A and B are shown apart, each in its own frame.
Chain A
Amino acid sequence: MIARIKSEITLWRAIVAIIFVTGMYATYIRFFEGFRASTNLSDQMPWGLWVGLSTLCGIGLSAAGFGISAAVYLLGMERYRPILRASILISFLGYMTVCVGYLYEIGLPWRFWHPIVMWNHRSVLFDVCICIMTYTTVLTFEFAPAVIEKLPWKRFRETVLHFHHKILIGVVMAGVLLSSMHQSYLGGLYLIARGKVHPLWYSQYMHAMFYLSAIPAGLALTVMAIYLSMRSLNVRVDFSILSDCGRMIQLLLIVFAFFKVLDLTANQAWSYAFQRTSEAGYFWLEMLLFLAIPICLLSFESVRSNPERLYWSSAVVVAGFLVNRLNVSINSLQSAMGTHYVPKWTEMASSVLIIAAGVIAFRYAVIYLDILPKLPKKPEGFTRWMSNGGLAAQA
């Protein structure tokens, strides 16, 4: 038994080590040799995996924070309070990874602060930058008590937490508005590329579609992270909360599916879905993974009430969401731009590094801070080292 556990430890540690070594090397290539050496980007495909995965997916999958905090603080759904901090932590770390990814994406990273002082209110990207910066601040504020309550200075702690409590509701409201805006503006970025984005994805309501798809995906990632924490760390959450999240995810996916069908019909884009093109293939893959399979699976009580099955259903939602965002940001542009883009290994390695760092930060936050309700200490001290602490969430 112990031997088996030991072998598992070494496997996951080895994987983390490989991710860090390759990721650091890829980072070196990015910053010291430039885009040509580190990416397959071109004039025809100026945005690639970094924008598609690090930014679009990173922000989208961090949508649970504002959803759950709105539910608990504004709608009074106290039932979800046990998972509130976990979802805020996931959002906070997600936005942190996006901020780090931003430095990889822009050609002149030392000018990252330019959007703060050089405004162009006609630019969707400017609004995205400002909203993300402000919302990252909001998330830092919402998450801060988890760290502050661990500080040893009692007076300081009480003063800060008292002040925090006073303005919390206002901050939560600002957070919900900011999230709603930039979650949709990420889709709005592609509005200007009419004629370049494939008709299966282009619509004048792309921003709304991004907003509608982000919330179920963010909830699904939260379910996955909490399941993995419960399996591998010393925490327990009433599982029926996660079951309810599963029901909520299904409902939100049905809403998204409804609007997607409406949108395709309004744009007369259905004919493109039945052509023998790679876009049609990617489109159906997305429909299958993001909508058809999870909606079916989550309609079964036996799936929703079984932790493992719920976890895998959420994993399918997250996978489908990744396909959706990469479809919009990469696959939908290729034919119009007359190019074929496959990310270089360095692009993937650096993205995986940033995500892995986020996952590890989540793991240690759950261990050392009061993020999820903790179980009384078990005699076997090694249980918490048993699993990967959510590394599988990268998939």
Chain B
Amino acid sequence: MTTKKAMLIDIKRCVGCLSCETACKQLHGFSTDPEPTLSDTAFTVVETRGDKFVRKICMHCEDPACASACPVGAISKSALGPVLYNADKCIGCRYCMLACPYSVPRYQWTKLAPFVKKCDMCSDRIKAGGQPACTEACPVQASVFGNRDELIAEAWRRIREDSSYVPHIYGVEEAGGASVFFVSDVPFEKLGFKAAPTGTQPVPTLTASALGDSPKVVIMGGTILSALYWITQRRREVALADAEEKAAITRMKDERSQP
């Protein structure tokens, strides 16, 4: 039984040193110049909101909208927690980018063979028992990595022990839950966090009902169409029989009238 991993980001503790951003870029071999928003060469960025610093990163949802949207199943939720992208399957339709409620996935617009780019929570490192480059680089434990259950307990401990924290962990319940949590001493909506479009329901539930209707449509539609066709055929046969009968009657009358 693998334990689900997660990441906790403490906005109160973050000092905006950008160590996480730089560590991520170094790990992937990108230029370490800071970027204003997520891009295909910045899987996490630290945004300034007033006097606070807010990390942007893939939320690694429990039931990811991107994974449900992908027509070829190139995105999947792994047992350890990270939401992983399989570049070998991707056709580049970019529906994941439209589906993601947090607008995280990025595209390599300049490449001739472009792929989707996003954080994979350093899946290879955590599989080997390590932790992501960003949490390892954080000098003040504003970003910490650990088992999902323990991190939720740790977040609640921080909230309990320091009354300046908002009593809410963003990411535990949003859109069916995620593997990246935020705690903050400033209300989340003031920091640009949006309420999840589905509340605590996973985003894929939005399409589930429409898709769930399709077997019904096929069975009911097929029955109705067959019935209509049968009626049409029957009417045609009746009309034909009527016409033949009439023709026969006229023929008989004609024969009688000329003895």
Contacts and interface: CB of A to CB of B under 8 A. Distances in A.
B68 A122 contact: yes
Contact of B90 (A43, A108, A185): A108
Given A34-B110, A108-B114, A177-B225, A122 B217 contact: no
A42 B109 contact: yes
A3 interface: no
Is the contact region of chain A dominated by helix, strand, or loop, or is it mixed?
helix
Contacts of B91: 106-108, 111-112, 114-115
Interface string B222-252: 1001101100110110000000000000000
A273 to B, nearest CB: 21
B198 interface: yes
Contacts of B98: 46-47, 189-190, 192-193, 196
B218 interface: yes
Contacts of B112: 32-34
A173 interface: yes
A188 B210 contact: yes
A123 to B, nearest CB: 5
A129 B111 contact: no
Interface in A26-47: 32-36, 41-44, 46-47
Contact of A123 (B71, B115, B225, B226): B71
A34 B228 contact: no
A107 B115 contact: yes
The interface centre, meaning the residue of B74, B208, B214 with most chain A CB atoms within 10 A of its CB, is B214
Contacts of A346: none
Contacts of A43: 38-39, 97, 103, 105-107, 109
A35 B229 contact: no
B78 interface: no
B27 interface: no
A380 to B, nearest CB: 42
Interface in B76-121: 89-95, 97-99, 101, 103, 105-107, 109-115
B232 A75 contact: yes
A192 B73 contact: no
B204 interface: yes
A120 interface: yes
Interface of A: 32-36, 41-44, 46-47, 70, 73-76, 105-108, 111-112, 114-115, 118-129, 169, 173, 176-177, 180-181, 184-185, 188-196, 204, 207, 337
